[in-house]
A and B are shown apart, each in its own frame.
Chain A
Amino acid sequence: IQLTQSPSLLSASVGDRVTLSCKGSQNINNYLAWYQQKLGEAPKLLIYNTNSLQTGIPSRFSGSGSGTDYTLTISSLQPEDVATYFCYQYNNGLTFGSGTKLEIK
C-alpha cells in the first residue's frame, strides 16, 4: 500500500487548528499510525489504530479516518509542534508516507 501525505509543507500560526492528510492506495482498515519527528531526533508515536492517543501525548493531537483517507488534527498549534509528521500503515505490508513538514508562520 502506498501512502500519500498532503500537504508536503504546512505553515501555520500558533493557536491554529491544523489538519494533515494521509491517503492510501488501498483500504487501510484503520491500521494507521502517526509519528512526529523533530529535527535530529527519532520518530515518536502520537496516534495508533487511527484514533488511539499514545500515552503521554497531549490531547490537542487527534486522529480520524476510515477506508483510504486519514487525518491528523492538532487542535491548537504550539511552538513545540514544529516537526515532520509521518503516517504509517500496517494493514498490508508496512509502509510510511513521505511526510508533512509543519512550520510556524
Chain B
Amino acid sequence: EVQLVESGGGLVQPGRSLKLSCAASGFTFSNYGMAWVCQAPTKGLEWVASISTGGGNTYYRDSVKGRFTISRDNAKNTLYLQMDSLRSEDTATYYCARHGSGYWYFDFWGPGTMVTVSS
C-alpha cells in the first residue's frame, strides 16, 4: 500500500525557515517523480514544486523560486522541502504527492502538514 507521511510543519515567524519531510513507503520511491502541493485555509490547491526520479531536475512555481528548495534522498525514501524567507502568504497545508508514472498528474497524496507563518 502506497503511503506518504509528511512532517515538519508548525508555526514560524515571517522571514524564518522551515524544512518539511515526506516519508514514502509501499512503492519503489526512486521510480517516481514527486511533488509538493499546498492549500491555504479554505482555499484551492496550488502546485509548489516537483522533482524528477533521480533529483537532477527540479521545478517551482514562480512565487517560491529562490526561496524554496525541493530535494529527495532515494536511499531513505524521503522527500524534502526547504522553505526559506517565509511569508504570511505561504501559510497553508502542504501535501506531499506522487506523480503518476510518466505523467504530471498526482496519483497519491499524503495527509498533509500545516505551516503557519505569523509573528
Contact = CB atoms under 8 A, between A and B. Distances in A.
A44 interface: yes
B56 interface: no
Interface of B: 44-47, 50, 95, 100, 103-112
Contacts of B112: 42
Contacts, number: 48
Given A90-B103, A90-B104, A95 B47 contact: yes
Given A41-B111, A45-B107, 11 more contacts: A31-B104, A33-B105, A42-B109, A43-B109, A48-B100, A49-B103, A49-B105, A86-B44, A88-B106, A90-B103, A94-B50
Q: State the 8 A-B residue pairs at the shortest beta-carbon distance, nearest first.
A: A90-B104, A42-B109, A94-B47, A33-B105, A96-B45, A48-B105, A98-B44, A45-B107
